[in-house]
Amino acid sequence: MKKQVVLGAIVAACLVAGGAFLVSDTKAAPASTFVLLDGSSKQTSDLKGRVTLVNFWATSCTTCVAEMPQMVQTYEKFKDKGFGTVAVAMAYDPPSYVVNFAQTRKLPFDVAIDNTGAVARSWGEVTLTPTSYLVNKRGDIVKRYVGQPDFDELHQLIEKLLQES
């Protein structure tokens, strides 16, 4: 009986600690440099003041390719309200494939090539695609999505974040 009480107390403590982690303050987006297809660069600090979706993807990732039209729709829906998207192609993705994909699909947002893998490492050792981070106007990561996000839920969260000052 005593073991069960102790075990119950440990489980309860873990749940409380876990719950505190879930509702704790957001984490600042890591300092990184996005090298865009046009050769320009954008720093993480440049994202401040806008709600931004940072999407790690690859042309060889079927889920990434399938979700891209919804990424475009999301961007188009919110771009005039202070929303941006940075699509970061993984280091193993041939740059010519990324350029071709972005041009043929007329991607309207920033597309970056992470040819050294440094950006993926700085954002939490991203290896699975798609992985996306929603960043608020203050530059804090609010949500991480591994796999295709629920776009209705994502849109609601973007609307909420756009209303924050």
Query: Does residue 121 register a pLDDT over 50?
Result: yes
Q: Is residue 7 part of a domain?
A: no
Output the pLDDT for position 11.
Answer: 36
Q: Is residue 159 part of a domain?
A: yes
Query: Does residue 9 register a pLDDT over 80?
Result: no
Model pTM score: 0.84
Question: 130-161 burial string, b = 16+ CB within 10 Å, else e?
Answer: bbbbbbbbebebbbebeeebeeeebbebbeeb
pLDDT level of residue 131 (50, 70, 90 thresholds): very high
Q: Is residue 77 part of a domain?
A: yes
**What distances in angstroms separate CA 156 from CA 57, 96, 131, one per listed residue?**
23, 35, 19
Output the pLDDT for position 4.
Answer: 45
CATH for 68: 3.40.30.10
Q: Is residue 134 part of a domain?
A: yes
Assess whether the previous peptide bond of 130 is cis (omega < 30° from 0).
yes
Output the pLDDT for position 79.
Answer: 98
pLDDT level of residue 152 (50, 70, 90 thresholds): very high
Q: Is residue 71 part of a domain?
A: yes
pLDDT digits (tens, 9 = 90+) for 49-94: 999 999 999 999 999 999 999 999 999 999 999 999 999 999 999 9
Q: Give the chain's domain count.
A: 1
Domain holding 127, by residue range, is: 28-163
Mean pLDDT of all residues belonging to the chain: 88
Span 16-27, average pLDDT: 44
Q: CA 107 to CA 98: how far, in whole Å?
A: 11
| Of 117 and 10, more confident | 117
Let me know how long the chain is.
Answer: 165
Question: Residue type at 52?
Answer: T
pLDDT level of residue 125 (50, 70, 90 thresholds): very high
